[in-house]
Amino acid sequence: MKFAERRIYFFIISFLVIAPGIFFLVSNGGLNTGIDFKGGSSMTISFPESISVSQTEIINSINDIGYSDSTIQNLGENSFFLRTTELNDEEKSTIEKKLIDNFSPESSSIITSYDLVSPVVANETVVAAGWAVLAAVIGIFFYIWWAFRNLPSPFRYGIAAIIALIHDSIIVIGSFAILGEFLGIEISTMFLVALLTIIGYSVNDTIVVFDKIRENVLIYTNRTFPEIVNLSISETLGRSLNTSFTLLLTLLALLLFGGATIREFLYVLIIGVIAGTYSSIAIASQILVVWDQKKIGSFSQE
């Protein structure tokens, strides 16, 4: 298949996928952040098995005493994870008493765990995450530059990999802007952990294709660079798709049976794996072709 000749279509598809996420990201003023980023309190609440309580009933009770910005997740087995504003001991006791009075009068305590994240710690988390991502990007660039040092202009491989990495990250972030708008999904430190994982996966998949390009450049010296890219993608396509499909099956199984606490992490991985597989073929490799041909492409190519 003539992948290189159809690069303009790949770029258009990426733009159409990225544009809605950017729109919601800008219109919402950023992502829907959890207490890990803006500070607040979280607690796990467990009721006796004999009591039937829903998320809606709990959140309505919390709203009645003035905590309307709280969110609740069902952890199963009559347990719930509550996020709300930063609480002192008296406010925490007020919430617990309200829930006990409404749903479990015979219980003496229903809060099984409690965490407090101050805004200062939240800001430090954001800064540390930014430095971690920057360090990862710089390290990846220099590693790829060194690994492909025997080819002409080896730094372009590093640049292409970083562009693909940014492409995947923007898709993930944009997707969460949309999910935050319509499903109220918040991001936490688990989001950052998953995003760094996706960065590693994306680069790994890209390097597989790049390594085959490097091998074919040295073997087929009489072929043009777009022809070598087409051949290299064809030779690695099956491996990339099989690896990604197998990983997606595992992630989907975890999403269905793994519980609510890791759901956000799995959303990032699923979106990132799909984007990473696509970008290694349709973005990173095509950036190399654009660099070599000095043009993006045209719609008239066959």
Q: What integer pLDDT is reported at residue 160 of this predicted model?
A: 95
Looking at residue 273, its pLDDT comes to 94
Place of tokens 């009591």: 51
Which pLDDT value is given to residue 215?
Answer: 93
Segments of the chain with pLDDT less than 50: 302
Q: What is the pTM of this model?
A: 0.80
Q: Which amino acid is at 42?
A: S
- Is residue 85 within 8 A of residue 41, CB to CB? The reply is yes
